[in-house]
Amino acid sequence: MPTPASGRGFLWLSLVLSSVCVALGSETQANSTTDALNILLIIVDDLRPSLGCYGDKLVRSPNIDQLASHSLLFQNAFAQQAVCAPSRVSFLTGRRPDTTRLYDFNSYWRVHAGNFSTIPQYFKENGYVTMSVGKVFHPGITSNHTDDSPYSWSFPPYHPSSEKYENTKTCRGPDGELHANLLCPVDVVDVPEGTLPDKQSTEQAVQLLEKMKTSASPFFLAVGYHKPHIPFRYPKEFQKLYPLENITLAPDSEVPDGLPPVAYNPWMDIRQREDVQALNISVPYGPIPVDFQRKIRQSYFASVSYLDTQVGHLLSALDDLQLANSTIVAFTSDHGRQSMDLVELVSLFPTLAGLAGLQVPPRCPVPSFHVELCREGKNLLKHFRFRDLEEDPYLPGNPRELIAYSQYPRPADFPQWNSDKPSLKDIKIMGYSIRTIDYRYTVWVGFNPDEFLANFSDIHAGELYFVDSDPFQDHNMYNDSQGGDLFQLLMP
């Protein structure tokens, strides 16, 4: 396994947002291009904290763990909406979904909501060479079919050519035929083009780093990996790391009694895969056969380990090119299942700007549709330890004052075919959720998609879970808390 970047790397490891690692040198606040820090932003698709650095005992992720070991790792980082396109547009613009007005896959914020600046655009405007490799913006109309070019990037973004096979019939089933399966360990020499998208992205990113080695300008390189998003299409040798007999079942796979039906995600995307279809699993609640549950977990973990080796190659290149000591590495997922302080992905923009010594965009007014450059998140600079500075500016806030906000749309009160990903016009209900260190509190309220208006007096359902006594969120206390007791329950 390659050894990832050592030295003064920085990184912001983030899962559902999760982490930031940084060791800042004293020269980092300078503002001349000669000693400006480069940025390597690694974005992973659907990675939850199934990593050694988050205490997972089964998953092998030595490269990411090593990155985390000299980084600031966020333990409680939350995405603003757990869907690829809305989440990415939110954290890349530093605005919440209610400001980007993107809850689905069908609009481009610059024409639909406001001409908001993006993180790479801001670095580009400050003299950086900005480059995109793989899935950074969600492809399609949400980034105007160009990954927001030319605004965000100095060159046209790179997409791996083998990406087009991700959802095609390239998985060898027990019947010897090729299928479009959920579980898809492959022999890489046998697949179309003899490679996989994330391998190609790593190769391209390494080539760009080599070019940047001699560049007079600092760089901002964003690398977006596709795995471990479904389908689990990965080199089959990674499966051997996880013998089926060693795979435990999810600790809490039952649907909790007190869960309001509007909150349930019927995982329609998974049901469309050929191997899952063959199981004839009842809609919407399942269950999935226990053997298959184990296989899903095996392939998810194998995909994470495959991803981890790609991250290892990338960080080794940064080391070999002697760029590690002048590059801030930020690592994040667009979402995953949620697992120090609470932070939100929307804070990535002001934090990266602050770490690089650029002016931190001002706080957004409300509303802020007319303002191109402002931040809805926080500058998390104070979380980073300045190892080389005598004075330690780490000033933890009062954790009880911290809140992370998320939201999720639904087309109906009961699970149906489009519950996971309703189009804007079909959104009837919006779930607004706050997470504090003590509890998660969610209200599902009426939503008008023409006006983008939530009606908080039209409450469809509510959820309240206490973090310490109910970590898996099995006991919904919302109804117990009605009639005036809620305030008392939530008092710290």
Please select the residue that binds ligand NAG; options are 214, 280, 457, 488, rule is CB under 6 A.
280
Given the residues 53, 84, 364, 374, the one annotated as active site: 84
Site track for ligand NAG across 224-243, x = CB under 6 A: -----------------x-x
| Cβ at position 275, least distance to ligand NAG in Å | 14
Q: Least distance in Å: CB of 321 to ligand NAG?
A: 10
Tokens at 248, concatenated: 């435990």
Nearer to ligand NAG (CB atom), residue 207 or residue 359: 359
Q: Which residue in the list 21, 53, 70, 138 is annotated as catalytic?
A: 138
Closest CA to 314 of 73, 5, 59: 5
The rounded distance, in Å, linking the Cα atoms of 281 and 277 is 7
Residues 326 to 355 in contact with ligand NAG, rule: CB under 6 A? 326
Q: Which stretch binds ligand NAG (CB under 6 A): 109-117, 183-191, 338-346, 378-386?
A: 109-117
| Binding piece for ligand NAG, criterion CB under 6 A, among 110-118, 293-301, 454-462, 471-479 | 110-118
Provide the 10 A C-beta neighbour count for residue 178: 15
Measured in residues, the chain has a length of: 492
Q: How far is residue 336's CA from residue 180's CA, in Å, rounded to a whole number?
A: 23
> Position of tokens 């600092």?
218
Dihedral of the CA atoms 378, 382, 388, 392 (nearest 10)?
Answer: 170
Is residue 322 involved in binding ligand NAG (CB under 6 A)?
A: yes
Can residue 282 be called a binding residue for ligand NAG (CB under 6 A)? yes
**Shortest gap between Cβ of 95 and ligand NAG (angstroms)?**
14
**Could you give the C-alpha distances from 100 to 263, 376, 424, 471, in angstroms and in order?**
23, 11, 13, 32
Q: Cβ distance 50 to 65 under 8 Å? A: no
> Which residue lies nearer to ligand NAG by CB, 138 or 421?
138
Shortest reach from residue 460's CB to ligand NAG, in Å: 28
Per CB under 6 A, 112 contacts ligand NAG: no
357 sits near ligand NAG (criterion: CB under 6 A): yes
DSSP-assigned letter for residue 344: E
User: Burial of 439 by CB count in 10 Å (0-12 exposed, 13-18 middle, 19+ buried)?
Assistant: buried
Is 304 a binder of ligand NAG (CB under 6 A)?
Answer: no
Residue 217 as a binder of ligand NAG (CB under 6 A): the answer is no
Print the SS3 string covering 246-258. Answer: HCCCCCCCCCCCC
Q: Is 111 in the site for ligand NAG (CB under 6 A)?
A: yes
Runs of H (alpha helix) within 234-330: 268-271, 274-277, 290-320
Active site residue 138: yes
Cα separations in angstroms, 466 against 399, 405, 406, 490: 16, 16, 17, 9
Q: Which of 115, 207, 272, 455 binds ligand NAG (CB under 6 A)?
A: 115
Among 325, 339, 423, 481, binds ligand NAG (CB under 6 A): 325
Q: Which 426-485 positions form the footprint of ligand NAG (CB under 6 A)?
A: none
Minimum Å gap between C-beta 33 and ligand NAG is: 9
Compute CA distances 400 → 225, 260, 410, 436, 485, whole Å.
35, 27, 30, 7, 19
- Residues recognised as catalytic: 84, 138
Where do contacts with ligand NAG occur on this chain (CB under 6 A)? 31, 110-111, 115, 126, 144, 151, 241, 243, 246, 280, 282, 322, 325-326, 357-359, 372
